[in-house]
Amino acid sequence: MFMASKRTTGAKRKRKTYHHGDLRQAMIEGALKLVAEHGPDGVSVREAARRAGVSPGAPFRHFADKSELMAAVASDGMQRLLASMMQATTEAGDDPADRLRAMGVAFVRFAVAHPSHFRVMHVPELSMGALRDAARSSRAQMKSLVEEGQRQGTLVDCDPEIATLASYALVYGVARMFVDGLFSAQGVRDSRAEAVTTAIVDLFGRGLRKPG
């Protein structure tokens, strides 16, 4: 493992200052790059430190341990995800069904654009309080959109709990299939992500929408 880093690739770039400046951020970015290269368990604190040009012990001034570094990556990703879902729903207008759809599409778009972030965010061993709270709050938002749609009569009159979970699951499944390489294994390239996502969401959207 890590045979690739035989002092050729990320050789210690010298810095002129004794202090790094923003080692915390550099470690987060380094970890993300290593996830992209080798997956979550290919992340090495030492290797990220090497690429940042610091000694092996330096990162531990910023993170208590490796899992805290990963948690920082996850939390960074969650902030970006929430921001882009927020923007998408705002731009989507007033209809709750439209807003729900926009949220879902934004979710998948994020996963395709930031698969390493996405993967780290969803490693169960790492997801602690803050992350779970954020996820719960966006599910709460989904649920209120579902209920509003039902009140307005645009969404079918089923258990809103189930409708919310179902919507989440569909969108999570599409995102995960891109991230886990199941789409590309079947010839669906990332460039078709947007089109495939909207087609899928609209197809099953028929199941959610009130007939007539």
Partner DNA sequence: ACCTGAACACCGTTCAAGT
The residues that touch DNA, with contacts defined as CB under 7 A, are 1-2, 5-6, 18-21, 23, 43-47, 53-58, 60-62, 64-67
Q: Which one, 8 or 186, has the nearer CB to DNA?
A: 8
Note whether 163 binds its own copies by CB under 8 A: yes
Sign of CA dihedral 89, 91, 94, 98: negative
In the list DNA, its own copies, none, the entry touching 170 (Cβ below 5 to 8 angstroms by class) is its own copies
Burial label for 204, CB within 10 Å (0-12, 13-18, 19+), is middle
- Residue 128, SS3 per DSSP: coil
* Of the residues 2, 182, 189, 190, which one makes contact with its own copies according to CB under 8 A: 182
CA distance 178 to 78: 18
Do residues 58 and 64 touch, judged by C-beta distance below 8 A? no
In the list its own copies, DNA, none, the entry touching 23 (Cβ below 5 to 8 angstroms by class) is DNA
Amino acid code (one letter) for 68: E
Q: Which of residues 85-124 bind its own copies (CB under 8 A)?
A: 122-124
Note whether 56 binds its own copies by CB under 8 A: no
Q: How far is the CB of 118 from its own copies (least distance, A)?
A: 11
Tokens coding 26: 């550099």
Distances (CA, A) of 13 to 21, 50, 108, 161: 14, 8, 36, 53
CA distance 148 to 151: 5
Q: Which residues bind its own copies (CB under 8 A)?
A: 1, 38-42, 66, 122-125, 127, 132, 135-136, 139, 156, 158-159, 162-163, 165-166, 168-174, 176-177, 179-183, 185-186, 188, 196, 199-200, 203-208, 211
